[in-house]
Each structure stands twice: as C-alpha cells, then as structure tokens.
Chains A and B, each alone.
Chain A
C-alpha cells in the first residue's frame, strides 16, 4: 500500500526537525503545517460555497436581516431558467465571449508570429503592444467612452477616414446593434497582448532544429506552419483561451464603465445582471441560485476544456 501525501511529507522531514519538537510525531508536525491552509481553504472557499447553495433554496434577503427566511425549494432555479431576460443576458455574454476569444486568438497569434521574427526594434514593439493590458480596466473603459463619443470621439472619425461612413451617422455605445461590438473591440484591444505573449512563449519554445529538419525534407513554409508551428503552439493557445474565457465570462468592470449594460440591456452581461440582483435588488437567495448556475456552467465547461487541453498536450 502506497503512502499518503502527508505521510510522504512526514518521511521527507529530516529526523532532526522532529527531534527538536519533543512530544510531537512527524505526522503531527506535517498536519500543523498543512492545517492553516486547509482551514483557510475551508473558511474562504468551501464554506461560502456550501452556504451559497443553502441560500439558493431560500427567499433570504441580506438587507432584511429581521425577516423570516423561508425555504422555497427549487423556485429560485425555476424562475431563473424560465426568465427570458436572463436568457438575453446569457446571449449577450455568449456573444461577448465568442467574439473576444475569436479576435484575440486570431490577432494575438498573428502578432506573436510577426514579433517572433528577428528584426530591429523587436523589443520596443513588444513593449508597445503589451501596454494596453497594463492599464486599469476602469481607465480603459473611461477613455474609450470618450473615443466612442459620436461628436468629439476619435473612433468615428477613424472609421470615416477608412470607410467613408460619415462620423456623425452612427454611435457605437448608444446603438443597439453596435454596442455589443463596442465592448468586443475594447476588450480585444486590451487583452490581445496577453494572448500574444502566451503564443510568443509557445513559438519560442519550438526548437530550430525541427524547422531545419523539415527544410532538409523540403517541406514548404506553409507545410511547416501547419505541421510544426500550429501543433506545438496549440497547447499554449488553448491555455490562453482558457484564461481569457474564464476572465471574460465574469467580465464586469470594463463593460460597466463603457456601457453600464445598455443601451437597454443589450450589453448586460451575466456578471452585471447578477450584481444587480445581489447587491442592488438584494434578492440574496435568488442571486445565490443564479451564482450557482453560473458556477456549474463555468466549472463544467472548464473541466471539459481542460480534458481536451490535456489530450492535446499528450499528443
């Protein structure tokens, strides 16, 4: 029978350490070291999660501590899953998630591929490109609202310059059709450098001799790209998608600053909607059920994705 991790740690502890603390076994010492972490994990992660699950079956409101709490069964879950407005926020989130990932991967990989080539000023360009992701989302949201401003903002004039569409004829944030794209553009601008950096790490991890061997075998550049570059960068790319996917699923600050969820509710992502339910309407039980649904969704999708990622790595 193999040892447990704690027993392995205990065995690895030098005998002198154990001897110094008289009366305590190595196993106890090992537990003493691990216990604070376990306690923090239970207190900060596990207990709130269990408590949230419990609240999700109640009509509890945090702003009414004196009101009697009733168990309402699955009523909160039923309400959420049959609420058309919630599905609209899910759609808005899906739109945001899909297109930001699509553009960030496409542009991020392209930039990494270009930056990976040796040319003068390579480091300077890399620094310039990664600048947006160093800014605070609140700052980015704020100055993009000015850029999108239809009367004085630069964005409309740039679009007019390249397309001929009059600057005054459209408004990015105020238009129902354009507002979802306005948040996609800003998030892409801000976080593409992150994807680029991860892709760059992947590209630089490919040894040159593989390309040299392929060249000796007379493989074209195109074939080298598809059979060497893409497969070897894919695990990195998938990791970047995982990080950005989780981040964008819970996107809040940037979008609140940019559109506040409007016009109407077309850019009201689930996180914004959840915050309104929990901390503005104070429907704590309902919001707990909502949070559990989102948690299960993200956890489920992420688990499937990680399994796929591991398979790609094993190849």
Chain B
C-alpha cells in the first residue's frame, strides 16, 4: 500500500511537472533578411510576446548573404531558426527537402483559410507543387519590384519644358518601358541644382540575385516566359523568344545609357544610396523600402513619387516577398505554429501594414481605405495584380546563378549578343533539369 501510494504521488508530481513544462514560456527565433520590414516585425511581435509569454529572438541577415546563410542552415538541419521568412523561390526546396513543416493540418485545425489571402501571394509564397493546395508557408510579406522618382524634378517647370522640347512629350510617370528609358536618358548627365544627375538606378548585382531581379522586370513586360507550357520545362522559344531577346537588349541599353558611372554591381542598398544622395532621377527597388523612402527627410515626402513597373507588350512586375514557415528541425514547433496562428489574425495583419509591413490578407488589401492609406498603396495593389516569379524549383539556386552569369556577361561585360545569352541560359537550365530528372 505504501509503495502504491508513493507511486501515485510520484505520478501526480511527474504529471504536474509535464503540465508546467507544457505551459512554460518558450524562446522562439525568427529568421529573416535585415531590412526595414524586419524592424517593423520586431515592433509587431512585442504584442505577441505580451500575449503569449513566449520570448521572440530575431536573426536578421543582410540580403546579399541571406540566401547563403539560411540555405546552409536548412541544408545542415540547423536548429537556429524556429520560424523562417524565406524567399519565395525557396518553397520548392523547403518542401521537397523536408526543411519546412507542411501546414495544411494546422490551418484546418485552427480555421486559417488561404482564401483569406491574396491568391497571387498564396500561389507564390505558400504552395508546392505550384498551385496545389499543399501549404508550406503563410503569406507574410507581399512585395514586388516597383519604381520611385524625384517628384520635385518631374514637377520643376524648367525641367518639364526641357523635356517637352527634347521629346515633344510631357514629363510624367512613364506608362511603358520605352517611355521609362526615354525619361532616364533625358536625365542622364543633366545639370540640376549645379550637380550632374543620372537617369536611374537599376539592379546589376552579380553575386546573389540582383541583375536577374532587375532584368526580369523588363523581360517579363516584353514577353519573356520560362516555359511554353507551365510545368513542361520546354524552354526553347519561350526563354529565347524574339520578345525576350528584345527585352534583354532593352535592359542593356538602359544600363549603358541611363545609369550612373560605375554602376556595375548594384542592388538594393546601392540603388537606395544613389537615390537618397540625389544622383538619380528614378530608381527601381522593392515596395518594402517605400515606407522608409517616403519618410526620408531629404528626398521623401513631397519630393518623391512612386509607380509600378511599366508594361510594354504585357503588364508585369517581378515578384518579391516571402511567406513565413515553420522549420521542421525546430525544437519549438508548437510555439512556432502558435506565432503563425497569431500572425494570421486580421487585426494583427492590419497592424502589420500600419507599421510598414506589406500584408497579404484580403481584409487589409480589400479595405476601402487601403489605396489611400499610403502614397504607394495603390501602386502596390496594381503591381501585385500581375506579378511573375523566378523558378521555384528545388534547384532554384543553380538556375538563378546560371541566369546571373548569362545576364551579367551580356549586359555588363559586353560578351556576346542577347540571343546568345538566352540560348546559353537554356543550355544551362536544360542541364540542371536533366540532372534533376525532370527532362
């Protein structure tokens, strides 16, 4: 009897111990790129910490090293990140290599519906295989490549008159890629306020993804496609179509005739610096930076304007943005899912947008006041309506590096023709897909 009593007491103590452990606050680490929206997320997450008792830690890596650092972490089965806001192109590898937790059961159990999020973002950030109802992320940060410009220069009567005289047209936000180039060329080398200014800051970076993200902005609008039939990997005639060749030649002309000198390896930071220092009249960059640009005391406010990527043959913008995933190697998966559950709530999403994050939730995007809530909000909606993304295959890094090389060789290093660059790109990609067993 004594023994039985002791056993019972031990069991009760042990059970109560488990109960305490289960309710105990946990330390969660969220990994993302180091940029403005990450700071907004830190602010937003304070509310979660207060509500849940969990402590949030953040691991933010600068963009040029983000993919390297995080993909190494995932590939090595690292436990650094419980939650990862990974790039949209990682979804295939994340799903197929078992890095991300499949979220369908969790969404069903918690009543989180993907219908509540913008379809383009669900397709791009959450699903693998593409378009199927297999979710590995919750759309967290909508983004696309857009443009901003010096509104004060565009509205300067002298400059407007000079532009009219030079082109016979009014100086305004461009509506086509060719008009964009014409305006950039007009500003190239122009003296404004006693200083030499240049046309536009575009992406030319070689090391990570820069020139691909920049050039595809032009390529998509001219008619570049990855495949003739989605999912078939038949690239000949799509990747190197006459429209794609024209688009690439266009981007090279843009680089050669309308960018600042020495602009050979530039991405987000360099573009922002060029604009903020008054070097350029226009710049391309991700919408994620627009709140910070608008708030800039020197070049923001009334001095800045925004527009989505202008179309040419078709309307298109390069997709940015990310979904938030639970890392399958995490020891805190339950708590990580709890964070996602909290983050998916409409009121949290509204606050996310107010703090500078780009919510993908329909309740935010479809709000009647959304378009007027920020000077770039309407442009963001317009851009997200026709976004296109790079390959999201598990071999995306290999595919991306091949494109980086071929584009940089042609655009910056003057090697070969646009046709040759795209033909070689097809060869590279074919080899990769053959290795993958998909061709």
Residues of A within 8 A of B (CB): 59, 62-66, 85, 149-151, 168, 171, 173-174, 176, 256, 259-266, 276, 279-283
- Bound CA span A259–B265, Å: 8
Which residues of B sit under 8 angstroms from A149, Cβ to Cβ?
Answer: 262
User: Which of B68, B262, B409, B410 contacts A171, CB < 8 Å?
Assistant: B262
Closest chain A residue to B279, Cβ basis = A151
B298 CB-CB contact with A under 8 Å = no
- Bound CA span A150–B394, Å: 40
- Bound CA span A259–B260, Å: 17
Do the beta carbons of A280 and B401 come within 8 Å of each other? yes
Offer 20 A-B interface pairs, CB within 8 angstroms, sorted by A.
Answer: A62-B75, A64-B97, A66-B97, A66-B98, A149-B262, A150-B261, A171-B262, A173-B264, A174-B262, A176-B413, A262-B206, A264-B408, A264-B412, A265-B413, A279-B68, A280-B401, A281-B397, A281-B401, A282-B75, A282-B397
Which residues of B sit under 8 angstroms from A176, Cβ to Cβ?
Answer: 413-415
Do the beta carbons of A262 and B412 come within 8 Å of each other? yes
Supposing A151-B262, A173-B264, A280-B397 touch, asked if A63 and B68 sit within 8 A by C-beta, the answer is: no
- Bound CA span A151–B195, Å: 12
Do the beta carbons of A173 and B265 come within 8 Å of each other? yes
Which residues of A sit under 8 angstroms from B413, Cβ to Cβ?
Answer: 176, 262-266
Which residues of B sit under 8 angstroms from A266, Cβ to Cβ?
Answer: 413
Which residues of A sit under 8 angstroms from B303, Cβ to Cβ?
Answer: none
Supposing A262-B412, A265-B405, A279-B68 touch, asked if A63 and B75 sit within 8 A by C-beta, the answer is: yes
Which residues of A sit under 8 angstroms from B263, Cβ to Cβ?
Answer: 174
User: Which of B68, B72, B397, B412 contacts A263, CB < 8 Å?
Assistant: B412
Which residues of B sit under 8 angstroms from A66, Cβ to Cβ?
Answer: 97-98
- In the complex, what's the smallest C-beta–C-beta distance from B36 to chain A, in angstroms? 24
- In the complex, what's the smallest C-beta–C-beta distance from B287 to chain A, in angstroms? 26
B40 CB-CB contact with A under 8 Å = no
- Bound CA span A171–B413, Å: 12
Closest chain B residue to A171, Cβ basis = B262
Do the beta carbons of A151 and B260 come within 8 Å of each other? yes
- Bound CA span A127–B260, Å: 39
Do the beta carbons of A260 and B206 come within 8 Å of each other? yes
Closest chain A residue to B432, Cβ basis = A281
Mask, B22-47, CB within 8 Å of A = 1, is: 00000000000000000000000000
Which residues of B sit under 8 angstroms from A59, Cβ to Cβ?
Answer: 435
Do the beta carbons of A261 and B207 come within 8 Å of each other? yes
- Bound CA span A64–B72, Å: 12
B interface: dominant SS: loop
Mask, B383-414, CB within 8 Å of A = 1, is: 00000000000100110010001001110111
- Bound CA span A262–B415, Å: 12
- In the complex, what's the smallest C-beta–C-beta distance from B9 to chain A, in angstroms? 46
Mask, B62-76, CB within 8 Å of A = 1, is: 000000100110010
Which residues of A sit under 8 angstroms from B394, Cβ to Cβ?
Answer: 64
B310 CB-CB contact with A under 8 Å = no
Do the beta carbons of A282 and B398 come within 8 Å of each other? yes
- In the complex, what's the smallest C-beta–C-beta distance from B130 to chain A, in angstroms? 19
Do the beta carbons of A168 and B98 come within 8 Å of each other? no
- In the complex, what's the smallest C-beta–C-beta distance from A293 to chain B, in angstroms? 19
- Bound CA span A125–B205, Å: 40
User: Which of B97, B262, B398 contacts A150, CB < 8 Å?
Assistant: B262
B residues 183-235 in Cβ contact with A at 8 Å: 205-207
Closest chain A residue to B399, Cβ basis = A281
Closest chain B residue to A266, Cβ basis = B413
- In the complex, what's the smallest C-beta–C-beta distance from B204 to chain A, in angstroms? 9
Supposing A59-B435, A63-B71, A280-B68 touch, asked if A262 and B398 sit within 8 A by C-beta, the answer is: no
Not counting A66-B97, A262-B413, A265-B409, a sample of 10 additional A-B residue pairs whose C-beta atoms are within 8 angstroms of each other reads A63-B93, A151-B261, A151-B262, A174-B262, A261-B207, A263-B412, A266-B413, A281-B397, A281-B398, A281-B401
- In the complex, what's the smallest C-beta–C-beta distance from A154 to chain B, in angstroms? 14
The 3 closest A-B pairs by CB, nearest first: A264-B413, A174-B264, A264-B409
Which residues of B sit under 8 angstroms from A282, Cβ to Cβ?
Answer: 75, 397-398
- Bound CA span A176–B205, Å: 15
Which residues of B sit under 8 angstroms from A262, Cβ to Cβ?
Answer: 206, 264-265, 408, 412-413
- In the complex, what's the smallest C-beta–C-beta distance from B401 to chain A, in angstroms? 6
Supposing A62-B75, A66-B97 touch, asked if A260 and B265 sit within 8 A by C-beta, the answer is: yes
Closest chain A residue to B402, Cβ basis = A281
Do the beta carbons of A260 and B75 come within 8 Å of each other? no
- Bound CA span A244–B207, Å: 26
- Bound CA span A173–B264, Å: 8
- Bound CA span A38–B71, Å: 35
- In the complex, what's the smallest C-beta–C-beta distance from B184 to chain A, in angstroms? 18
Give the interface centre of B98, B205, B398 by most chain A CB atoms within 10 Å. Answer: B398
- Bound CA span A171–B261, Å: 8
- Bound CA span A292–B288, Å: 44
Which residues of B sit under 8 angstroms from A256, Cβ to Cβ?
Answer: 207
Which residues of B sit under 8 angstroms from A265, Cβ to Cβ?
Answer: 405, 408-409, 413
Closest chain B residue to A272, Cβ basis = B207
Mask, B404-439, CB within 8 Å of A = 1, is: 010011101111000000000000000000010000
Do the beta carbons of A171 and B397 come within 8 Å of each other? no
- In the complex, what's the smallest C-beta–C-beta distance from B329 to chain A, in angstroms? 12
- Bound CA span A221–B206, Å: 53
- Bound CA span A77–B261, Å: 41
Closest chain A residue to B413, Cβ basis = A264
Which residues of A sit under 8 angstroms from B415, Cβ to Cβ?
Answer: 176, 264
- Bound CA span A262–B262, Å: 12
Do the beta carbons of B398 and A283 come within 8 Å of each other? yes
- Bound CA span A149–B413, Å: 17
Closest chain B residue to A176, Cβ basis = B413
Which residues of A sit under 8 angstroms from B262, Cβ to Cβ?
Answer: 149-151, 171, 173-174
Which residues of B sit under 8 angstroms from A264, Cβ to Cβ?
Answer: 206, 405, 408-410, 412-415
- In the complex, what's the smallest C-beta–C-beta distance from B139 to chain A, in angstroms? 25
Which residues of A sit under 8 angstroms from B205, Cβ to Cβ?
Answer: 260
Do the beta carbons of A279 and B412 come within 8 Å of each other? no
- Bound CA span A90–B409, Å: 17
- Bound CA span A59–B401, Å: 19
- In the complex, what's the smallest C-beta–C-beta distance from B434 to chain A, in angstroms? 11
- Bound CA span A249–B142, Å: 44
Closest chain B residue to A281, Cβ basis = B398
- Bound CA span A276–B398, Å: 9
Which residues of B sit under 8 angstroms from A171, Cβ to Cβ?
Answer: 261-262, 264
Closest chain A residue to B210, Cβ basis = A260
- Bound CA span A116–B263, Å: 44
Which residues of B sit under 8 angstroms from A85, Cβ to Cβ?
Answer: 405
